[in-house]
Amino acid sequence: MAVPFSWTETLGAEPLQNGGGLVFLKKGARIYSRAWRFQSKVDWPPVEGVGFLEGATIHVAYRSLSGEPDHEFYHAYCRFELAAGGRTFKCSFIQKATASPKAPLLPGTAQGKIVVEPSSEFQGHVASLEILADSLSLMSVSEENCPVLPLWPSEPKFTVRRNGRAIKLCCSSCLAVFEQKPEVFEIPPMVK
């Protein structure tokens, strides 16, 4: 079952007026997510993510899957702390929000609350997330693709060693999620 939230954010010390929607979907050991903006000074495409639930905390790595070259650089690692009952959350995140290769990861926070009666816009995002989750869960992951977000190619600079194997990921956000709970994203050894 997908759980929809609305959110607002703060980036660094800037009091932003950004807000949007967010959906979580649990499938097996993974949490799939989609976030989008509907109140923003900046036009951003939706971002999709994969992560895991640990206690009352959801860890997710997000990337833009829009195919828009202006947004291919974007990635974020988000840590959602769910309140008792799961109706609200506080989120801390780091994100790469500019295309410059030397740009630092920017910290920020967000807060959200559950949407009791999702609009048709929310329902459309839920349907898109369900399709993505089904596709990713059936996808055969090779060592050439990121094990967290397998639609992205892996990058040698984001390599971690696990059980004597080098595992390559696509970005520092996926690396952060993978290192916390690698068993959720294990790639079977390649048969030669």
Whether 61 shows a pLDDT value over 90: the answer reads yes
Range of the structural domain that residue 50 is part of: 2-138
145 located within any domain: no
pLDDT in tens, 144-160: 889 999 888 899 999 99
Per-residue burial over 30-59, b = 16 or more CB atoms within 10 Å of its CB, e = otherwise: bbbbbbbbeeeeeebebbbbbbbbeeeebb
pLDDT in tens, 8-58: 887 666 656 678 899 999 999 999 999 988 766 667 788 999 999 999 999
Rounded CA-CA distance 63/106 in Å is 15
Longest CA–CA span in the chain (Å) reads 54
Question: What was the pLDDT predicted at 44?
Answer: 77
- Specify the pTM: 0.88
Report the CATH number that the domain containing residue 35 is assigned in CATH.
Answer: 2.40.128.30
The structure tokens 């693709």 sit at: 145
Rounded CA-CA distance 32/53 in Å is 10
125 located within any domain: yes
For the chain, the domain total comes to: 1
pLDDT in tens, 76-134: 999 999 999 999 999 999 888 777 777 788 888 899 999 999 989 899 999 999 999 99
Q: Which two tokens stand for residue 56?
A: 């009352």
